[in-house]
């Protein structure tokens, strides 16, 4: 039943990042701040990119824009979906991501309301010190597996 941790470059990068985030943020308070900042930066960036795409390509609800000069490429190239379709798909994906991030934020606000007494924070730091140097930590292996799975996002488009 022993499970060898994957040592591919992606996993090794993940191990290092995982440990670094524990080492550098070893208290509950720091983890709260770290994750809040990560969530907000993700939302800000993805939201702005979506705005840009909507400005350039329409909001996706309207009919496809009339053929622009670069649409000639669709007829010239043979393989793969037309670039316009890929952009529309990306916009739909980004809208889904932003909706999920918004839901996550609502949940995380409750997590961030929590404050623990200093002795508990001290326990966080102690555990963090034990956890971060261990390359075969069980929690990390679990997280690593999650990282390697493409999450099955719920399909809201019906079917």
Which CB sits closer to Zn ion, 11 or 71?
Answer: 11
As given in the structure block, the two tokens for residue 124 are: 């966080």
Taken as a whole, the chain contains a residue count of 159
Closest separation between CB of residue 11 and Zn ion, Å?
3
* Helix, strand, coil share of the chain (percent; to 5): 70, 0, 30
Assign 70 to helix, strand or coil: helix
Closest separation between CB of residue 144 and Zn ion, Å?
7
Which CB sits closer to Zn ion, 14 or 112?
Answer: 14
Binding site for Zn ion (CB under 5 A): 6, 8, 11
Helices (H) and strands (E) in the chain, counts: 6, 0
Closest separation between CB of residue 146 and Zn ion, Å?
12
Closest separation between CB of residue 15 and Zn ion, Å?
10
| Residue 87, C-beta contacts closer than 8 angstroms, at least 6 positions apart | 53, 57
Which CB sits closer to Zn ion, 28 or 144?
Answer: 144
Which CB sits closer to Zn ion, 125 or 142?
Answer: 142
């Amino acid at each position: 039943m022993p499970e060898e941790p994957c040592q591919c470059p992606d996993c090794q990068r993940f191990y290092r990042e995982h440990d670094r985030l524990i080492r550098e943020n070893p208290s509950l308070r720091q983890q709260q701040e770290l994750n809040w900042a990560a969530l907000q930066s993700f939302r800000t960036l993805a939201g702005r990119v979506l705005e840009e795409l909507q400005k350039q390509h329409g909001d996706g609800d309207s009919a496809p824009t009339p053929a622009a000069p670069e649409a000639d490429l669709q007829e010239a190239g043979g393989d793969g979906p037309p670039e316009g379709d890929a952009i529309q798909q990306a916009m739909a994906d980004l809208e889904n991501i932003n909706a999920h991030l918004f839901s996550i934020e609502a949940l995380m606000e409750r997590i961030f309301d929590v404050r623990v007494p200093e002795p508990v924070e001290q326990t966080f730091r102690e555990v963090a010190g034990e956890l971060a140097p261990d390359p075969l930590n069980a929690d990390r292996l679990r997280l690593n597996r999650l990282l390697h799975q493409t999450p099955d996002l719920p399909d809201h488009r019906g079917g």
